[in-house]
Structure 1
Amino acid sequence: MLKGHFFKGLCRALSLFIVLSLFSVFSYADSAAVSTIFQQLAKSDVVRADFEQQKKLASLNKTFVSNGTLTFAKSNGVLWKIKRPVQADLIVTQKKLVQKTQRTYSQIQIDQSPYSSVATLFLQLMSGDEKALAKNFNVVSADYRPTGWNVALTPKSGLFKKLFVRIEAQGQQYVDKIVIQEQANNSTTILFRNQNTPLKLTAAEDALFQLAK
C-alpha cells in the first residue's frame, strides 16, 4: 500500500518540477532577471537534485515520506532514483514509463498509462511548450525578489482539476519546494536540495534511460 501511494503521488508530482519554473518564465516575460534565471533552467541539458516527498493522506491521517535523487536529461526524460522507503527507479520518457527494483521490472507505454497526460505534459514543458502550459494552468499569484520567488497555480483543464486544487512553489536559482493541494484534502510536498547542472549523464544514468527507449 505504501509503495502504491508513493508511485501515484510521484507520478502526479513529477510533472510539476519544471512546469512551475517554466511558468515563471512566461509570467515574467518583461523581467530580465527572472527570464535569465528560468531560461537557464529550461536550457539545461542535464539537471540533478536530491528530493524528499511528503505525501499526506487525509483519510488515513498519515504522512508518508520518501526520498532519493532526480535526474532530468533533455534528450532522454526524467529519472527518479528512490532510496526510501523502498529502493526503486522510475524512468519516464515521451514513450514509456518504467519501474525497476532489485526484484521486479515493469514498463508501460505512456499513451496506455493513466498518468500519460501528466507525464507527456511534463516532458513537453521541459522543452518549453508554452501552449501546453497555458492550456492547463492559471497563475493566481506570483512574486519575485532577488532573495527568492514564489508562484501559485490553479488547474484549468478538466484532467488537472481531477487531480489538483492548487499548486504552490518557491525557489531561488532552482525550484526548492513544491506544495500540491489535491482532491479529498490530500497533499504532496516535494523539497529539492543540492541542485546542479552537470555536463552529461553518468554511465549508470544512461543505462537506466536506455531501458525506456
Structure 2
Amino acid sequence: MKRAFAPLLARRLAALLVLAFLSWNANAFDLADLQEQLRAAPVVRGHFVQQKFLRSLPQPLTSRGDFTLATGKGLLWLLRTPIAQDLRIDAAGISRRDETGKWQALPQRSGASRENQLFLSVLAGDTAGLRENFDLTLTGESTAWQLVLTPRSALLRQIFDSIRIDGAALVDRIELRETQGDRSVLQMTDAVAAQTLTAEEQRAFAD
C-alpha cells in the first residue's frame, strides 16, 4: 500500500506544479500587456524634472517644466526653469515656440529624426517600436514594472550603455546611461491620463 501511495503522491505533486506554472504563465506581465496598458491613455500630462549628470561637473544640470504626450501627435515639452521655453517634438522633428506664439522648426543634425522617434517611443512605452533597436527586458507587474533597453546596433552602442524605464499605470522615471559615463534622469511627476487634448494643446499640435 505504501509503495502504491508514493507514486500517486508524486504524480499529484507534479500535476500541482504544472498547474501552478500554467497559472503563473497565464498571469505574467509581458511586453504586450505593458504596451496595451500604456496605450490605454491617449493623452498623458504632468510635470517633469530632468537631471543631466556630467562627469566634468560636480552637480547635475537640472531643468523643470510641464509636458503633454499625445498618441499619434507627439510631445509638448514646456520648460519653466532654468529658462522658459516651449518645445514640440514629433516625427517631423523639434519645433520651438517664438515670442509671437508661432512654432519654428529647429535645425536637425544627421540622425536627429531617429533620435526624436526614439525619445517619443521611450516616453510612450512603445515596445514594438523600441524592439527594432533594442533588446528589451521587462520585470515586475502592472503596478510596478521596470523595462531595460540594451542597444542592438553598433551605432546606438556608441551612444548608450542602457536605458531604464520605471513605471506603474504610466511611465514614472527614465534613466539613460551613456557610454562615456554621463547619464540623464527624467522624473515624471503628478502625471495623469486623459482621453482628449485641451483646446490650447490642440492648437499647439495643429500649428
Q: Decide which moves more: 97-106 or 51-60.
A: 97-106
1:75-121 CA-partner distances (Å, limit 9, x unpaired): 321111111111111101222320225489641477x6542102134
Is 1:91 the counterpart of 2:84? The answer is no
Match runs of 1:18-97 below 5 Å: 31=27, 35-36=32-33, 38-97=35-94
Distance (Å, rounded) in 2 between the aligned partners of 1:124 and 1:143: 19
8 Å contact from structure 1 (residues 46, 74) kept in 2:
yes
| Deviation at residue 63 of structure 1 after TM alignment | 0.6
Counterpart in 1 of 2:105? 107
Match runs of 1:1-213 below 5 Å: 31=27, 35-36=32-33, 38-102=35-99, 106-108=104-106, 114-123=111-120, 126=124, 128=126, 130=128, 132-139=129-136, 141-145=137-141, 148-211=144-207
8 Å contact from structure 1 (residues 77, 91) kept in 2:
yes
Q: Which has the higher helix share?
A: 1
Distance (Å, rounded) in 2 between the aligned partners of 1:90 and 1:208: 10
Unmatched segments (≥5 aa) in structure 2 = 1-24
DSSP-derived class of the 1:135 partner: coil
1:142-172 CA-partner distances (Å, limit 9, x unpaired): 3214651222221112332232111122222
In terms of Rg, which structure is larger? 2
Distance (Å, rounded) in 1 between the aligned partners of 2:143 and 2:69: 25
Unmatched segments (≥5 aa) in structure 1 = 1-28
Sequence identity, in percent? 28
Distance 1:207 1:58, change over 3 A: same
TM-score by length of 2: 0.73
| Deviation at residue 182 of structure 1 after TM alignment | 1.0
How many matched pairs?
Answer: 180
Across the aligned residues of Structure 1 and Structure 2, the Cα RMSD in angstroms comes to: 3.0
Distance (Å, rounded) in 2 between the aligned partners of 1:105 and 1:199: 25
TM-score by length of 1: 0.71
